[in-house]
Structure 1
């Protein structure tokens, strides 16, 4: 019960505890022995290498890619918190530009002639009583 009494005793955080280990039986000098697992290849100057990548010999130099690849990557990937680029951004089009194809290449459309007032269509007074919508 001695262990449980020590476990529940109050002590400050980080306070050195004496647990009465027998170090001589294990052949360990606690003043010189390093506890824990050590890395055989420790990373040195990690922050310094992150801020100045030229110091890291293992880092590959950046490769230049074609602009077509960079444009595709910019439109095909979704970025977190940004709207997706659908390719409908600013275009260098003039103010008179309209999209679409003209319906006829030469002349006027045939459906527009009855709508326009021609001299022949002004003299149809005899047809007015037959039209109920007039």
Structure 2
């Protein structure tokens, strides 16, 4: 397995674990937004939204630029790559398990089909 920076990977998964933070990242895919604009769709205080944003920053998923009194946030999707690679490692495991299950189900279907072909019901006239 490829080695990853465990602390950074932990931060990325922690950041992505919350639906509010995922929604914030979704908003940033369109354009950079101010902290207020990021907080606006949610029923929370600006301080609570700021905590979410700080966690996203710590994970490296958001870059913040200060322009006067405005804090402009921009998406940085690069840290998600390590998470994708980590998940891809386990995709191989699940693909093998699902392929084995599919083969088993097909074999059962073939067996059931052969049994039903042998036992044809009598039709009454």
TM-score range, shorter chain: under 0.3
**More strand, by proportion:** 2
TM-score after normalising by structure 1: 0.23
Larger radius of gyration: 1
**More helix, by proportion:** 2
TM-score after normalising by structure 2: 0.24
Higher relative contact order, structure no. (Cα contacts within 8 Å, ≥ 6 residues apart)? 2
